[in-house]
Amino acid sequence: MNKLRLTLLLSLGIGGCALFAQDNDRAPAKNRLALQTANFQGELSWVEQPSSSAPLGTLIGIHGTPGSWSAWQPLMAQPGIEAYSFYAFDRPGWADSQSSDGEVFTSLADQADLLALAIDQLPSVSPLILVAHSWGGPVALALAARYPDLIDGLVLIAAPADPNVTRPRWYHKAAKIGPIKWLIGQEMARSNLEMLSLADELQVLAPQLGAIRAPTLIMQGKKDWLVAPQNAFYLDRMLVNAHHEMRYDLEANHFIPFKQTDAVLSAIQWVAGQALSEQALAER
């Protein structure tokens, strides 16, 4: 990423997740699932990191925008994470999860429905926990609301959720202008399409949040300049039927999955424990 482009992206406030993109030169082999649906004709891809022994659960990594499975490489290297089977996905429309028409899937429902088709085929061990960062957060919420029997828990990290504080900003609109769109490049232009549609998608998602019953941990940094901290407090109010907890870090910014992998592992362990407890109570 050249200096001019990086400066422009930072000044526009888009593409923050790309700043911590991992080197894929030694990327492991990907799993692929061919799908033919009404709006997707192509493949979904993901990287699997098996557990080192009998897994304590299954983790599904859902990255932000822009991004790919590699956003989860720091967490996949965190000591202790090997206790879980980890499936790090390329979200629909990103990296190797592409439809033949090159579509950008700005609909949270479309993202959730496509990922559910793949997740349902995984050899998973309960509890199945979605670990989602940034734009991946509302995708995880849509998955949990639409597929309650599939999802056992959520870890939401710097997740936009409140439609009233997630309105497109001036720089998102500016990035649609021809010269700026050219300067930021195709990947960031695709990311900007997701950002422009997000508030409307969150408005659709809002009445569905009460349907989520899976235990959820909300992680948010006060110094996050990409996703307003108010989003975490919004989720704390809206997840009325899910046992949930919020961990609000006064010093953290948007990049918790890259810089505080131990804290993310702790969140996963909390959610797994809550999910197993709820399953045990349901079986009595």
Domains of the chain (ranges, CATH numbers): 3-20+46-283 (3.40.50.1820)
Residue ranges of the chain with pLDDT lower than 70?
Answer: 1-27, 170-184
User: What pLDDT, on a 0 to 100 scale, did the predictor assign at position 24?
Assistant: 47
User: What pLDDT, on a 0 to 100 scale, did the predictor assign at position 231?
Assistant: 98
User: What pLDDT, on a 0 to 100 scale, did the predictor assign at position 173?
Assistant: 61
User: What pLDDT, on a 0 to 100 scale, did the predictor assign at position 25?
Assistant: 42
User: What pLDDT, on a 0 to 100 scale, did the predictor assign at position 94?
Assistant: 97
User: What pLDDT, on a 0 to 100 scale, did the predictor assign at position 187?
Assistant: 84
What is the C-alpha separation between 59 and 153, in angstroms, rounded?
Answer: 9
User: What pLDDT, on a 0 to 100 scale, did the predictor assign at position 29?
Assistant: 85
What is the distance of C-alpha 226 from the center of its chain?
15
User: What pLDDT, on a 0 to 100 scale, did the predictor assign at position 186?
Assistant: 75
User: What pLDDT, on a 0 to 100 scale, did the predictor assign at position 182?
Assistant: 62
User: What pLDDT, on a 0 to 100 scale, did the predictor assign at position 11?
Assistant: 45
User: What pLDDT, on a 0 to 100 scale, did the predictor assign at position 177?
Assistant: 63
User: What pLDDT, on a 0 to 100 scale, did the predictor assign at position 20?
Assistant: 58
What is the C-alpha separation between 127 and 57, in angstroms, rounded?
Answer: 5
Average predicted confidence (pLDDT) for the chain: 90
